Chain A
């Protein structure tokens, strides 16, 4: 089977609207998600959620693990809960075949060698400013960052440029930071404040703890 077939099999699991809703909820959530939380979020029963969540694990889109949530151990502490999180790995398929990743790698290599960091950041900032919206949370969500509020800071659960950022971190993370700063409305600010997962940029809004 080609890698395209693998990707198609994985993505075909998202054809079901309930399953897609569950995937989006788990993928955007910081940390692990229980069956109950996923069921509540999508508005289905726990049994239906469990069925679809396990299909998503089979497809390689989610990972599952067990943990006791009560904090107790030993006899009487209850059964461990099954928890879900977004799986590592990317699934890309294009019909007809397109290889934008190849192009982006080549371009990044050339931009890096030519030392065009400042030019790239300026372009990213301008693109961000052109798309700047009154509601940066919505804008970031649309761009795949999976934003969520945590202790008054807006965190980004996903890095939309992950593979390229791994290969060209100075170039791509610098570009990303400039792009986000351009996107932010007046009074918002971005800082490098990494968590173990996701984009390392954290954002503060104009009003303290202004959760939306």
Chain B
């Protein structure tokens, strides 16, 4: 990893539109697995923080698009790209990810974004949504990118 490891952390946002309301039978398996999969993240190496709603367990009651009650967001901060990647693709989280099409609409455009934040910074819903918009508008840049072409953290002058 380039740059001082602790100066910048990796923020991640993922948005998606569920195929049915959270309390519907179709989403039951997804909702049932959330506590376990969130606990897995909380305990994963390199995990820093994840966005939660007022109830504090997860982000399922946040609605980044006010008019759309099926539009969900998840956002978190990690020490490095590798730490996030290990959790997303190399843990039991993959089991949930592999069933994404049972629960979430397929979005034609970018639905997730990565960017670097100063260590200690906690992204807001607005900030996270702006990064997705940036990726959709400009493609991969150091300000909003994906696992496909990860950018190194900014280098700070010592």
Contacts and interface: CB of A to CB of B under 8 A. Distances in A.
Interface stretch (B2-10, B58-66, B88-96, B116-124): B88-96
DSSP class of A's interface residues: helix, strand, loop or mixed? helix
A117 interface: yes
Interface in A163-206: 167, 169-170, 173-174, 177-178, 191-192, 194, 200
Give the bracket for the number of chain B residues in contact with chain A.
10 to 19
B57 interface: no
Residue in B88, B98, B99 whose Cβ sees the most chain A Cβ within 10 Å? B98
Contacts of A121: 98
Interface stretch (B70-78, B100-108, B131-139): B100-108
Given A170-B97, A174-B97, A192 B102 contact: no
Contact of A192 (B85, B95, B99, B148): B95
B106 A173 contact: no
B90 A118 contact: no
B118 to A, nearest CB: 28
A194 B91 contact: yes
Contacts of B89: 169-170, 173, 200
A173 B94 contact: yes
Q: What 8 pairs between A and B have smallest CB-CB spacing?
A: A174-B98, A115-B106, A194-B90, A169-B89, A200-B90, A117-B101, A192-B92, A170-B97
28 contacts: A114-B106, A115-B101, A116-B101, A117-B99, A117-B100, A118-B99, A118-B101, A118-B102, A121-B98, A167-B148, A169-B89, A169-B94, A169-B147, A170-B89, A170-B97, A170-B98, A170-B100, A173-B89, A174-B94, A174-B98, A177-B94, A177-B95, A177-B98, A178-B98, A191-B92, A192-B90, A192-B94, A194-B86
